[in-house]
Structure 1
Amino acid sequence: MKINYVKAKLYDIEKMRELVLPEVQSGVILERSEDEIATNIRSYTLAFSDAQLVGFTALHIHTKYLGEIRSLIVKEGFRGQKIGETLVGYALDEGKTLGLQKVLSLTYKQSFFERLGFVEIPKESLPEHKIWADCIKCKHFPICNEVSLIKNL
């Protein structure tokens, strides 16, 4: 099975929201509105098997030194095939190209990110604007079980 990795287009937004909906409903991934995705469309990399969207992630820029892996999702039935790992790899490569020094992730999948070279950091070290822009929208806020990890580029 061949997986193609491409930058997202505006016409992909509906498929992206459909793919991530179960994880949004369970509280694993934050919901992003169509407008929010559109505003940040250039940050998303998508994985397709034929014409079927099977995964995506975004590289969000917080500061000129710090980025974040966001909204990483791989469709059930396609997990375990290194699609998530490849998506993160594309995001990290993009971060290096842009000149980022570090990339963080807030996740329930700590071991996945540790396998990719991320190390756990205290949540208190996250940028304050991250908390007030994103975390406050989470249904688990302020009681958060996610782990914060970071990787030096």
Structure 2
Amino acid sequence: MEIKFYKPTVIDIPKMQELVKPEVESGKILLRTEDEMATTIRSYTIVEVDGEMAGFTATHIHSPRLAEVRSLIVKEKFRGLKLGKKLVEACVEEAKFYGIKQVLSLTYEKEFFLRCGFIQIEKEDIPEQKIWADCIRCKLFPICNEIAMVKDI
């Protein structure tokens, strides 16, 4: 089994959108338009297994202090290979490279992020207000059960 992590190009966007579509439809992941993805394409990391896109995530920088793990997805047939954890680790490493001090995740997968070294915080304690601008676009807003989790790096 060949596993490869790489930075995508805009050519990958349609495949990325197709992969994340079920999670977007369920409301677990926020819809990112093709244009949004194109303007932030450098923040994404893709994982491929035997030539097939297996998942991706994005490291979104909010401020000199805070980055966020966004749009984390692993195709169901590839779950259990620890690809999600490796994608989160890639986000953390990218945040470290840029000198960021803390990584945030707004998630429904508390146990997963605990295993990745994150701790739960109250949403009200999220230090950057810019994050909430995305919430307004969510189909589950204002009734949201996402958990705020952070990792100091």
Same fold (TM over 0.5): yes
Taking the aligned partners of 1:52 and 1:112, their CA distance within structure 2 comes to: 23
Note the C-alpha offset of 1:51.
2.4
In the TM superposition, what are the counterparts of 1:1-153 in structure 2 within 5 Å? 1-126=1-126, 127-132=128-133, 134-153=134-153
Runs (4 or more) in structure 1 with deviation over 4 Å come to none
Offset from partner CA, 1:61-103 (integer Å, 9 cap, x none): 0001100000000001100110000111111011111100000
- What secondary structure is seen at the aligned counterpart in 1 of 2:36? helix
Identity rate, percent: 53
Name the CA distance, whole Å, in 1 between partners of 2:34 and 2:80: 29
TM score, norm. by length of structure 2: 0.97
Residue identity opposite 2:107 in structure 1: T
5+ unaligned residues in a row in structure 1: which ranges? none
Query: Normalized against structure 1, the TM-score is what?
Result: 0.97
Name the amino acid aligned to 2:73. I
Count of paired positions: 152
